[in-house]
């Protein structure tokens, strides 16, 4: 299996995120991708290739032009207003009854308008890092379109919390959605996106919510207890043409491997019934019991098993990296999923 990777992810290196009432060092840091690529290079999984440049078009198939224009210019606008000593974080958001339909002129207002949390700093290199990450996903998608069984897009920053016109949860461009849309644009009638990250795929769900040609399934911490809190409930099943083509599997804090794999089995049954032309896996390994910000109890031995189960679906499969913060284990666990898939 080929891995697509670029060093430009290092250009996203936020100083702080607001968490538990403190300004803490960002959990989503360059070391994460470094540890994964080190494991891949030391293994016999396959070659590591650089991404191609795809320009703005495939990004604009998923994201609005106003949002892309904002992301591209946000750092410069922030520097003009506040200088360059601190990274850009939003401070307030419109809530019930306030106007959420007007893009303000001031950069602080724009940050609020296009975001949903205070954990996702915009830095000097954010635009370059996030477009590089999307190109990693698109290059891996091309490998599959060219006939390969599977490919690994080692994306960083992650993407599954980003919607058509907002960022948050460390995500700016929805790499998995951009790749799924590329399959559709190249003529695939149906694509499934299965998100096994610990957190709900709110961005991916929202992007495809009214459409039946992309089936979205997400296993995640119950939003009653877990970020992003305001999406990811079991009764969100799609709308209009998309009704029945979104499935959420919210699971409580403390979920162990037995319960998690039972939910995975239901998702796999749904995917088989849908019979997609391609499968995109949003791969997070923050389901691991040692993850510092998550509350599931998967063991390292469970990751090869995940890869094996996905391989049994028998579909062209694109793995897109999302979360995972237990840095001592993230490389090993990620490689385990991919090796399990290849060896199945």
Active site residues: 161
Binding segment for ligand FKS among 4-12, 169-177, 251-259, 312-320 (CB under 6 A)? 169-177
Q: Is 13 in the site for ligand FKS (CB under 6 A)?
A: no
Instruction: Look up tokens 């308008």; give the residue.
Output: 113
The residue within the footprint of ligand FKS, chosen from 18, 293, 311, 342 (CB under 6 A), is 293
* Minimum CB distance to ligand FKS smaller for 173 or for 182: 173
The residue within the footprint of ligand FKS, chosen from 51, 132, 169, 221 (CB under 6 A), is 169
Binding segment for ligand FKS among 69-77, 83-91, 153-161, 310-318 (CB under 6 A)? 153-161
Residue at shortest CB range from Zn ion:
323
163 Cβ contact partners less than 8 Å away, ≥ 6 residues apart: 174, 202, 203, 206, 207
252 vs 256: CA distance, rounded Å:
10
CB of 263 to ligand FKS, least distance (A): 17
Q: Which of residues 238-277 bind ligand FKS (CB under 6 A)?
A: none
Q: Is 32 in the site for ligand FKS (CB under 6 A)?
A: no
Q: Is 203 in the site for Zn ion (CB under 5 A)?
A: no
Q: Is 9 in the site for ligand FKS (CB under 6 A)?
A: no
Q: How many residues bind ligand FKS (CB under 6 A)?
A: 17
Give which of Zn ion, ligand FKS, none residue 127 binds (C-beta under 5 to 8 Å, depending on kind): none
135 Cβ contact partners less than 8 Å away, ≥ 6 residues apart: 6, 51, 52, 53, 54
CB of 295 to ligand FKS, least distance (A): 9
Q: Which of residues 122-141 bind ligand FKS (CB under 6 A)?
A: none
The residue within the footprint of ligand FKS, chosen from 90, 307, 323, 331 (CB under 6 A), is 323
12 vs 314: CA distance, rounded Å:
35
The residue within the footprint of ligand FKS, chosen from 5, 170, 209, 319 (CB under 6 A), is 170
**Cβ(228)–Cβ(161) under 8 Å?**
yes
Please tell me whether the peptide bond between 187 and the residue prior to it is cis, using omega within 30 degrees of 0.
Answer: no
Binding segment for ligand FKS among 102-110, 158-166, 210-218, 296-304 (CB under 6 A)? 158-166
Q: Is 303 in the site for ligand FKS (CB under 6 A)?
A: no
Give which of ligand FKS, Zn ion, none residue 161 binds (C-beta under 5 to 8 Å, depending on kind): ligand FKS
Binding segment for ligand FKS among 2-10, 67-75, 95-103, 163-171 (CB under 6 A)? 163-171
182 vs 195: CA distance, rounded Å:
18
Please tell me whether the peptide bond between 137 and the residue prior to it is cis, using omega within 30 degrees of 0.
Answer: no
Q: Please list the residues that pair with 151 across neighbouring strands.
A: 2, 318
Q: Is 16 in the site for ligand FKS (CB under 6 A)?
A: no
The residue within the footprint of Zn ion, chosen from 13, 32, 199, 211 (CB under 5 A), is 199
Binding segment for Zn ion among 60-68, 182-190, 296-304, 321-329 (CB under 5 A)? 321-329
282 closest CA partner among 257, 306, 300, 255: 306
Tokens of 170: 């460390």
Q: Is 291 in the site for ligand FKS (CB under 6 A)?
A: no
69 Cβ contact partners less than 8 Å away, ≥ 6 residues apart: none
Residues that bind ligand FKS (CB under 6 A): 19, 28, 119, 158, 160-161, 169-171, 197, 199, 227, 284, 286, 293, 322-323
Residues that bind Zn ion (CB under 5 A): 197-199, 284, 286, 323
């Amino acid at each position: 299996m080929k891995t697509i990777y670029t060093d430009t992810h290092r250009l996203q290196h936020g100083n702080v995120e607001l968490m538990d009432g403190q300004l803490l060092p960002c959990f989503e840091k360059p070391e994460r991708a470094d540890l994964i690529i080190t494991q891949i290079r030391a293994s016999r999984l396959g070659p590591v290739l650089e991404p191609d440049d795809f320009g703005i078009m495939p990004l604009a198939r998923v994201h609005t032009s106003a949002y892309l224009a904002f992301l591209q210019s946000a750092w410069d606008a922030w520097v003009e207003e506040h200088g360059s000593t601190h990274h850009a974080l939003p401070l307030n958001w419109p809530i019930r009854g306030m106007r959420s339909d007007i893009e303000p002129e001031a950069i602080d207002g724009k940050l609020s308008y296009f975001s949903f949390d205070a954990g996702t700093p915009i830095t000097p290199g954010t635009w370059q890092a996030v477009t590089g990450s999307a190109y990693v996903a698109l290059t891996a998608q091309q490998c599959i379109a060219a006939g390969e069984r599977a490919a690994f897009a080692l994306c960083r920053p992650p993407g599954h919390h980003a919607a058509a016109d907002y960022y948050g949860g460390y995500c700016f461009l929805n790499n998995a959605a951009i790749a799924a849309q590329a399959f559709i644009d190249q003529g695939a009638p149906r694509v499934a996106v299965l998100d096994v990250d610990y957190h709900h795929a709110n961005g991916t769900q929202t992007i495809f919510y009214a459409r039946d040609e992309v089936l979205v399934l997400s296993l995640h911490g119950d939003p009653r207890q877990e970020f992003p809190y305001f999406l990811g409930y079991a009764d969100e099943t799609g709308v209009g043409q998309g009704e029945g083509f979104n499935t959420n599997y919210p699971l409580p804090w403390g979920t162990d491997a037995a319960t998690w794999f039972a939910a995975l089995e239901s998702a796999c049954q749904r995917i088989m019934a849908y019979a997609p032309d391609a499968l995109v896996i949003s791969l997070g390994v923050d389901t691991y019991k040692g993850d510092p910000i998550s509350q599931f109890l998967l063991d390292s031995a469970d990751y090869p098993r995940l890869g094996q189960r996905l391989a049994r679906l028998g579909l062209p499969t694109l793995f897109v990296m999302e979360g995972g913060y237990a840095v001592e284990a993230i490389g090993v666990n990620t490689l385990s999923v991919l090796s399990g898939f290849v060896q199945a």
